[in-house]
Amino acid sequence: MRTLLAAVGVTVLAAGTALAAADAIRVVSLVKDQRIFVSFTLESGVTEDLRAAIDSGLPTAISYDVELRREAAGWFDKTLQSVAVSAIVQYDNLTRRYRLTLTVDGLGEEPTITEDRETVRRWLTTFDRMPLFTTERLETNVEYYVRVRARSRPWITWFFWPWDRGSASGVAKFTLIR
Amino acid sequence: MAVAPQSRPLGVTRSPAAVPARSRRPFRDNPRLILASILLLAVAGVATLFFADRSSRLSPDFLTEFVLYALSVADLTLLVALGFVLARYIVKLLVERRRALPFARFRAKIVTLLLGMTLIPAVLVLFVGSELIRNSVERWFNAPMDEMLSSANQIAGDYYAERQRIVNDEAVRIARELAPLDLATPDLTAVRQVVDPKVAGQRVAMVEVYRVDPAGTPRPAVTLVVGAEAPGLGLGPSGYNRASADRLAERAAAGNVEPHPPEPVGTAGELIRGVAPVRGADGRVVGVVVASDHLTGGMAARSRRMTDAYEAYAQLRVLKRPLTGVYLSFFVMVTLMILVSSAWMGLYLAKRITRPVQALAAAAREIGAGHLDHRVERETADEFGSLVDAFNAMASELAGSRRKLEQSAVDLERKHAEVEARRRYIETILERIATGVVSVDADGRVTTVNSAASRLLGLDGRVAGEPAERVFSRSGLEPLLAVLENAGGSASDPSAHEIALARGDRELHLAAAATKLHGEGGQQEGTVLVFEDITPLIRAQKVAAWREVARRLAHEIKNPLTPIQLCAERLRRHFSGAPPATRGLVDECTGTIVGEVESLKALVDEFSQFARMPAPKRVPTDLHQLLTDALGLYNGLFQDVRITAEFGADLPAVRVDPGQIRRVIINLVDNAIEAMERRGAVSVGTSHDAPNQVVRITVADNGPGIPPSER
């Protein structure tokens, strides 16, 4: 079956509380070869709080919950597939190098060492064409959307409400056409 | 404490007659559960304090990740528990107050007081303690500490950076010097001539030269061709592993020039490595130089400690807020535990205090409602238990008194019934007897008048309540008033008076006696006037007197009659031989004497019959014939008297003594003629009263009648 380029995601901004004042994730989805590639960028980048956490040597992570969902009328939208992507960085103040790790659903690659802050920022906030989902079991001519929500760690927000983890989110809709 | 199930809300009262099986004891009445809860709470408190004491040894990340979550959950749970306890208490309080249950206000006061006594200090301590914690956390960070730790970290970092730069530069320099050389030749003398001076001159501690084989897959393969280390480096076989240098060479051969961290070599310190590719004339990478500088163990450790101290400090600063939250959560948790405990304890104590009182109040209401068999079950051995015992004893005494009272009431009712029966009996007697009875109360008012009194005195029941003086002041009753006023003081004092009252056209003779009634205290309670109609008695006495007179008169008259008659007959016999004229005269005179004697005898017989009436000899008699014969005797006797007979029709034969009836009729007619002074009319009539089966004979005249005194 020939698979066509299906849709271009539309970014929908959603407010968060901890990552930054205008936390939003720009999401772009691309369907190709029965796979759904997702690109997303945390618009606010690395905040000062996160920067301080990184510079203190704390293992700092931004975890993204990427979900393929379908709208349901009169009820909660249905999550069809989901992937947890975590970008982890740990800074060594002695050698002044960053150790970058990326895990997808808990599976990590070999860490990357860098001394460049911009590289760290991109590592934490920008993800390009990640093949996260497949189009199997998806129906044609049906609108789906990819939702990405981000959470930072460690918690450096207000102390009394630990569930306020400052999530940011973004959505990209697409219609599967075969 | 067991609760006997009852239909009432307060189920602590029970009836001794039926004590149901004990149900499961609620929590508040189970000392073991309460003790276990208190112990659990104490253990939780001790564990909290223990954990708080050791929290400084835990990593900040663990504290903020796990502990803060756990504490927040605990805080929220305690907050919900506190809210639940208070909300339940408030709802129950509202319901109880709406239902106006007893002691709702008292319980509210107790709980509010206990809560207030705990809440206000706890909140104050919470605020003060929170501020202390915040200030203490703020005091962790200050400018001198910042400066010192930053500077130390800067020094260590600069030192590492400088050593890294030097080793990098040396690696590049060696790589340039090796570029013209053939690394693939077996004779590596030239290579060693480049490398050995570097090592020998202590510019670097170790140099490894790799030859790159471009045919390697997927990466280019590297082969160590020369390895040299400074004399006396002393890394030893266990401290240094060349594999890391091999990986660096492979990555460099593949074009990856990313930086790499220092490599620890056991306790010997660290190796700072610099990697540089050896490029041939055509620019291809033909080899890799890995130059290493050695940091001694002490130097590396000190540098690492300085950095660790700085990082720990920086991490504390970053995690300042969540860490503050951890300690505040500890504090809030302890405060909430105290509040929940105090709230629950307040409710528990209030219930423990008010419940026995409520039970007593409910039992008092039950007893007040007449359920004297209700008892309050003793729950404790304290003063409340004694109070319950006293209450139950009081209830028992009340029940006993009530039983006695009920028995007395039964006896009283029986006596009352007896008195009532006696009263009805006396009343009936009073109503039925011929004796008149009039009672007068202490105020001189007539209270009762029996029917005989009403009949004799012509009074009716409406005189009851009127003053006796006014009642007996009526015409003809004045003598009774005198009797009443002269009433005797005791029942034994008869003080009976015979009085005569004029009742219409006849005279009524009464024997009247009045007796004053006295109460047990001697006070006068009224007077009872008793009188009896003795008119028939008076008349009988008169008849008896007359009968006696007649008997004696007849006797006295009859005694000389026989001698007179005998003398007259003797005279007739004596003069039977006398001359006819004499004999005729004697016969005439003696005949007259004998005749008169016979008349006198007849008269005496009449008197005798008056004195002693013979027994009647009743035979069926034609009453009209009898009356006709009797009235026939008067024909032509009285010129101015007209005797008429008015007989009724269909008069049946009656059983009477004809002789006595005949004498009765003659006497009545004679009396009538005499009463009319032999001038007037006498009517004799008969009638038949069939319903009463009576034949009535009426003798009437138009004379003056019988005076009342002679009736």
For chain B, the structural domain boundaries read 27-140+319-375, 162-304, 433-533, 541-611, 619-710
Please give the CATH architecture assigned to the domain spanning B619-710.
Answer: 2-Layer Sandwich (3.30)
List, in sequence order, every residue forming a beta bridge with B438; answer none if it has no partner. Answer: B449, B529
Question: Which residues on A lie below 8 Å from B295 (Cβ)?
Answer: none
CB nearest B321 (choices: A92, A95, A159): A159
CATH of B162-304, one of 3.90.1150.10, 3.40.50.2020, 2.60.40.10, 3.30.450.20: 3.30.450.20
Task: Give the integer Cα–Cα distance in Å for B395 and B393.
Answer: 5
- The answer to whether the Cβ–Cβ distance between B322 and A159 falls below 8 Å is yes
Owner of token pair 């900040």: B60
B318 with A52: Cβ contact below 8 A: yes
**How many CB pairs (< 8 A) connect A and B?**
96
Which residues of chain B have a CB within 8 Å of the CB of A97?
Answer: 259, 261
pLDDT higher than threshold 50 for residue B700? yes
Residue ranges per domain, chain A?
12-156+168-175
- What value does the mean pLDDT take over residues B649-655? 87
A96: nearest CB among B157, B326, B329:
B157
Probe site for chain A from B66, B318, B327, B330 (most A CB atoms < 10 A): B318
Determine the pLDDT at residue B234. Answer: 65
Q: What pLDDT does residue B521 have?
A: 79
Q: Is A95 on the interface with B (CB under 8 A)?
A: yes
| Res. B19 pLDDT band, cuts 50 70 90 | very low
Contact A56 B322 (CB under 8 A): no
Q: To probe the interface with B, which of A112, A159, A163, A164 has the most B CB atoms within 10 Å? A: A159
Residues A121-134 have a mean pLDDT of 92
Residue ranges of A 30-89 with Cβ closer than 8 A to chain B: 49, 52-53, 55-59
Rounded (10°) CA dihedral B56, B58, B61, B63: -70
Q: Residue A25, Cα to own-chain centre: how many angstroms?
A: 8
- pLDDT of B116 above 60: yes
Q: What phi and psi, each to the nearest 5 degrees, are found at residue B699? A: -120, 115
Nearest to B325 among A95, A115, A159 (CB): A159
Q: Average pLDDT, whole number, for chain B? A: 81
Contact B161 A96 (CB under 8 A): yes
Does the distance separating the beta carbons of A52 and B314 come in below 8 Å?
yes
Q: Which of B160, B317, B323 sits opposite A95 (nearest CB)?
A: B160
Residue B337: pLDDT band with limits 50, 70, 90 = confident
Average pLDDT score over residue span B697-707: 86
pLDDT computed for residue B709 by the predictor: 61
- Cβ atoms of B617 and B657 closer than 8 Å: yes
In chain B, what residues touch A157 (CB-CB under 8 Å)? 321-322
Check if A159 contacts B (Cβ < 8 Å): yes
List CB contacts (< 8 A) between B318 and chain A.
Answer: 49, 52-53, 56, 58, 154, 156
Q: Which of B645, B711, B655, B710 is nearest to B683 (CA)?
A: B645
Verify whether the Cβ–Cβ distance A156 to B307 is below 8 Å. no
Rounded to 5 degrees, what are φ and ψ at B137? -65, -40
Whether pLDDT at B315 is above 60: yes
pLDDT tens profile B674-683? 888 888 999 9
CA max distance for chain B: 249
Burial B378-402 (b: 16+ CB within 10 A, else e): bbeeeebeebbeebbeebeeebeee
CATH T-level assignment (fold) for domain B433-533: Beta-Lactamase (3.30.450)
- Interface ipTM: 0.80
The residue among A50, A54, A95, A153 with the most chain B CBs within 10 A of its CB, best to mutate, is A95
B162-304 and B433-533, same CATH topology: yes
DSSP output for B386-426: HHHHHHHHHHHHHHHHHHHHHHHHHHHHHHHHHHHHHHHHH
- DSSP-derived 3-state class of residue B651: coil
Type of residue at A58: L
Which pTM value belongs to this model? 0.55
Q: Which residue of B has its CA nearest to A115?
A: B259
Chain A residues within 8 A of B261 when measuring between CB atoms: 92, 95, 97, 99, 113
Distance, in angstroms, between A137 CA and closest chain B CA?
Answer: 37
What is the rounded distance in angstroms from the CA atom of residue B512 to the CA atom of residue B495?
8
On the question of a cis peptide bond just before residue B218, with omega within 30 degrees of 0, the verdict is: yes
Which residues have a Cβ under 8 Å from the Cβ of B326 and sit 6 or more positions away? A159, B55, B63, B64, B67, B68, B71
Q: Of the given ranges (B91-95, B230-234, B334-338, B698-702), which has the lowest mean pLDDT?
A: B230-234
| B617 C-beta neighbours (distance < 10 Å), count | 10
Contact A92/B261, CB-based, under 8 Å? yes
Give me the residue label for tokens 């920067």: A51
Over residues B436-459, the mean pLDDT reads 87
